[in-house]
Amino acid sequence: MAKIVLIGAGSHVFSSRLITDIMSYPELRDSAISLMDIAAEPLKLAEAFAHRIVEQNKFPTKIEATTDRRKALNGADYVIIILNVGYKWKEADRKITLKYGLDQGDTATMGPCGVFNGIRHVPPILDICRDMEELCPHAWLINYTNPLAIITWAVNDHTHIKNVGLCHSVPHTAGTLAGYIGVPVKEVSYLVAGINHMAWFLELKWRGEDAYPLLREKFRDSAVYSGSGATYAGADVVRAEMFKTFGYYVTESSQHVASYVSLFRKKPEHIKQYRLSDGTQYQKNFQMWAAQDHQKDKQLEDQVKSNYRFPIDHSGEFGSIIIHSLETGQPSAIYGDVKNNGLITNLLQGSCVEVPCLVDRGGIHPCYVGNLPPQLTALNQTNIGVQQLAVQGIIEKDKNKIFQAILLDPLTAAVLTIDETHRMVDEMFEGEKPFVNGYK
């Protein structure tokens, strides 16, 4: 029987998905699932949902819920993290960056907001790892929390815990590309490598043949990618322009990717040109997403109370796929964020890279990729430098390294002067007081 711990289980939308994923495998139904969150009330609903799944299907799965992290971690085999620390500070950070004329877009992974997101998340996750080193030293840590690359890098360099970072941007982008060329995604194969949210489809094939010529032909009509329904996040103009310019398709959405480079969000007219959401629209989006999450929580609560029969299907997330392969030995292939130990030879060794991984009973085995094309390396390295300095700044509690990381962010550097960046970072530190004690 495996013990699977889910930390941040009060985030019902994601935790319910992962719980269902685990129970979708007959071989994992005799597991013990420990749900942990510091917020007791949201945790109760996650626990009620899990119990309902077990009861409806007469599974032997053992469910427990606790606000005591050490109790949850004791004897664990797998620890899945879906934390969201300081959500209100994320919006406060965005308002500060907008005040300085930096309309960043994505606030979770890169840029000033992404670095401060790392300041909020790295310390508690390292605390979890220290508990794991004592209570379950051989367990696997499976992390979904952003900023994924910064967190994974910190865990690799400052703990002994086996770990992998997970993101769904590779399979989601594969589905988008299959839609563009008008074929079923199951007929598409691909090789992707790079860094999280900026990994590259080095190969894209349909029925074994190169599909890039077909994609280029489709993209001769800009309506294919510029409409509001092009992707789940809207128009895909930025990624189409990146593909036309650099020759390879990049993961994540155009809304995200535009935040990681200096080319698309420098001025309001550029944001409009590339069909991107500006700061005002993002504020509306956050309010809309918060309302949707509240509505989903209420729907889940009503379903649990009404004895709604929950389907046992799999979301496609990699977390339970990994656990299933490690437990049964049945091989699987996933994309994971791991330490670059010679995997991508022309990216900084020791950095965090996203590569294909094979999983079996022996562990998670990242695949050798070799050199990326030089233009892709150049784009990735601009982000890797920021991540490296951010990790060092967080670990050392060094304000200057945090400032340097943000100063070297490609979009920040394209929009702000050194002095403007300094003032902005100082203001963000002032606003993040609960999380920056001891920084010098």
* pLDDT tens digits for range 25-42: 999 999 999 999 999 999
> Which one of the listed residues 51, 168, 172, 270 is annotated catalytic?
168
Q: What angle is formed at CA 165 by the lines to CA 160 and CA 166, rounded to 5 degrees?
A: 155
pTM, two decimal places: 0.96
Positive/negative CA dihedral, 298, 304, 307, 308: positive
Distance from the Cα of residue 60 to its chain's centroid: 31
Residue 124 gets which letter from DSSP?
A: H
CB neighbour list of residue 188: distance below 8 Å, 6 or more residues apart: 174, 177, 178, 204, 205, 206, 211
Contact 38, 9 (CB under 8 A): no
Looking at residues 175-189, what average pLDDT do you find? Answer: 97
* CA 269 – CA 361 distance, rounded (Å): 53
For the ranges 105-119, 156-170, 181-195, which has the lowest average pLDDT?
105-119
> What is the pLDDT, as a whole number, of residue 150?
98
pLDDT tens digits, residue range 401-426?
999 999 999 999 999 999 999 999 99
384 Cβ neighbours under 8 A, 6+ residues apart: 195, 347, 348, 351
Residues 339-381 pLDDT 10s: 999 999 999 999 999 999 999 999 999 999 999 999 999 999 9
Where helices occur in 331-439 by DSSP H, the ranges are 374-396, 399-407, 410-415, 418-431
| Amino acid sitting at position 67 | T
Place of tokens 């979770």: 108
Tokens of 232: 């789940």
Q: What is the DSSP letter of 38?
A: S
Label the pairing between strands 332-339 and 352-360.
antiparallel
User: Whole-number mean pLDDT of the chain?
Assistant: 94
What counts of helices (H) and strands (E) characterise the chain? 18, 12
Q: What is the mean pLDDT of residues 222-236?
A: 92
Beta bridge partners of 363: 360
Percent of the chain with pLDDT strictly greater than 70 = 98
Nearest C-alpha neighbor of 360 from the set 333, 337, 326: 326
Element (H, E) at 196: none
Catalytic (active site) residue 138: no
Whether 293 has a pLDDT exceeding 90, the answer reads no
Q: What is the pLDDT of residue 283?
A: 67
Q: Which domains does the chain have, with CATH numbers?
A: 3-88+105-165 (3.40.50.720)
Q: What is the pLDDT of residue 286?
A: 66
> Which of 223, 36, 16 lies closest to 136 in space, CA to CA?
36
Predicted pLDDT at 292? 75
**In this prediction, what percent of the chain has a pLDDT beyond 90?**
85
Residues 212 and 222: beta-carbon distance below 8 Å: no
The mean pLDDT value for 8-24 works out to: 93
Q: What is the DSSP letter of 86?
A: -
- Say what the pLDDT of residue 282 is: 67
Is there a contact between 354 and 205 (Cβ–Cβ < 8 Å)? Answer: no
